[in-house]
Amino acid sequence: MDKIKEHFSSKVGEAQKDVKDFISQHGDEVIGEIKVSQLYQGMRGMPALICETSKLDPEEGIRFRGYSIPELQEKLPSMPDGGKEPLPEGIFHLMLMNEIPGDDEVRRLSNNWARRSIVPPHVFKVIDSLPKSAHPMTQFVAGIMALRTESEFARAYRHGIHKSEYWMPTYEDAMNLIARLPRVAAYIYRRVYHNGEHIEPDPKLDWAGNFAHMLGFDNDEFKELMRLYMTIHSDHEGGNVSAHAVKLVGSALSDSYLSFAAGMNGLAGPLHGLANQEVIRWILSMRDELGGGLPSKEQIANYCRKTLADGKVIPGFGHAVLRKTDPRYEAQRKFALDHMPHDEMFLIVSRIYEVVPDILSATGKVKNPWPNVDAHSGQLLMHYGLTEYDFYTVLFGVARSLGTMANMIWDRALGLPIERPGSTTTALLKDQFGK
């Protein structure tokens, strides 16, 4: 058993007892009510899931195990050679262990993932069998499914593993998946956009730094961006489509590969993770239509009104839970102010921020007119030359492995059962309320 697994193992017994005692003491307490409208509105606001790794407050935004993003930027280890951004290894450790790691623990995770990172050749063959024009998310999901041949949970289950040990092979699958995803993602990127000129991993680098390297970006500032990007995209509590899909599918004891692929299919939807590419597509088409350069506030406002009049959403704005500017947006804005305050695309993104909230508020129906994480991420990537925006959701997906896999290990450790909420029909509801 590796040291990280041993450390996690030491926490399992106590957590199981804690949850069991809590349920026996408070299992009958009522924590909310369900309105008929919520059944038709995507179950907004219904507490229905346990997700230990992070919690989203509508006003304050995300907290990972109680820590806000600025706190994590201060507390999580960064690169020893003067790095400023948190290493994603650190947030994974925090989410899994519920402890802020030290430099040694983070280095151990980097090394552990580097050792696990070899991708079997058939995975590349599966990806190569798809046309290059297949969306990168399609290729990503195919790659994840091909990785499944390596599932230790599937093997252990077939051999009759005792349920108390489910978390152990799940841990192996989760760690292997996290370790291998950057290679799979970079392979897709180089295949589609760089004539298949692939770049070998550098096992001496940290997880995000190595990912940047394999993508073909060896600039130190871009590596710092990747560390921040992976950290802030890692988790957003349990009810968003991708995290919930992973949890739901995992609850059937589908292994990490099956479950994560399900989540990635959800992330690929334009109302969720695909919004990061849609933001850049929307900005570029606005710029093209206006003849290039920095559009005025009035021009942006007119373009927004046209988007709404065409029955489309303004990508990167709004949220099902948040009711203020997403702190993940703010962290990226700060990165831009520190590193590229005069970048034209940044100035456009900033101006959009000044204009859009009023326009969305004026519709009278948008509950949150403020920007979310996706409103900013593409601009930062564009600045460093990662301009192929169809690839952006894959980056989001790699980051999401951290939170969803930490959760999955916990779900198996706590022995959570298969999910099976009830459904009803409109006719039955009408009967219940006398029509």
Residues annotated as part of the active site: 272, 319, 374
Interface stretch with ligand FCX, choices 147-155, 164-172, 223-231, 314-322 (CB under 6 A): 314-322
In the complex, least distance from residue 263 CB atom to ligand FCX, rounded to whole angstroms: 12
In the complex, least distance from residue 371 CB atom to ligand FCX, rounded to whole angstroms: 8
* Site track for ligand FCX across 281-310, x = CB under 6 A: ---------------------------x--
318 binds ligand FCX (CB under 6 A): yes
- 13 burial (CB, 10 Å; 0-12 / 13-18 / 19+) is exposed
Cα angle 136, 141, 146; round to 5: 120
Biggest CA-to-CA distance, the chain: 69
In the complex, least distance from residue 307 CB atom to ligand FCX, rounded to whole angstroms: 8
DSSP code per residue over 165-185: GTHHHHHHHHHHHHHHHHHHH
Element (H, E) at 286: helix 275-289
313 binds ligand FCX (CB under 6 A): yes
* Site track for ligand FCX across 1-40, x = CB under 6 A: ----------------------------------------
- CA–CA separation, 270 and 371 (whole Å): 15
Q: Which of 65, 223, 319, 412 binds ligand FCX (CB under 6 A)?
A: 319
Q: Which of 135, 191, 272, 412 binds ligand FCX (CB under 6 A)?
A: 272
263 binds ligand FCX (CB under 6 A): no
Distance of CA 271 to the CA centre of its chain: 14
Of the two residues 299 and 393, which places its CB atom closer to ligand FCX in the complex?
393
Cα angle 44, 375, 289; round to 5: 120
| In contact, 164 and 98? CB cutoff 8 Å | no
Rounding to the nearest 10 degrees, give the CA dihedral for residues 271, 410, 403, 224: 180
Of the two residues 123 and 286, which places its CB atom closer to ligand FCX in the complex?
286
| SS3 at position 381 | helix
Q: Which of 271, 294, 362, 429 binds ligand FCX (CB under 6 A)?
A: 271
**Subset of 88-107 contacting ligand FCX (CB under 6 A):** none
Interface stretch with ligand FCX, choices 13-21, 70-78, 268-276, 399-407 (CB under 6 A): 268-276
Q: Which of 273, 295, 378, 403 binds ligand FCX (CB under 6 A)?
A: 273
| In contact, 100 and 94? CB cutoff 8 Å | yes
- CA–CA separation, 137 and 27 (whole Å): 41
- CA–CA separation, 427 and 411 (whole Å): 36
* Site track for ligand FCX across 350-379, x = CB under 6 A: ----------x----xxxx---xxx-----
Of the two residues 124 and 389, which places its CB atom closer to ligand FCX in the complex?
389
314 binds ligand FCX (CB under 6 A): yes
* Site track for ligand FCX across 214-253, x = CB under 6 A: --------------------------x-------------
In the complex, least distance from residue 156 CB atom to ligand FCX, rounded to whole angstroms: 33
| In contact, 412 and 170? CB cutoff 8 Å | yes
In the complex, least distance from residue 243 CB atom to ligand FCX, rounded to whole angstroms: 10
Q: How many other C-beta atoms are found inside a 10 Å radius of the C-beta of residue 385?
A: 11
DSSP code per residue over 382-414: HHTT---GGGHHHHHHHHHHHHHHHHHHHHHHT
Which stretches of the chain bind ligand FCX, using CB under 6 A? Answer: 240, 271-273, 275, 308, 313-320, 360, 365-368, 372-374
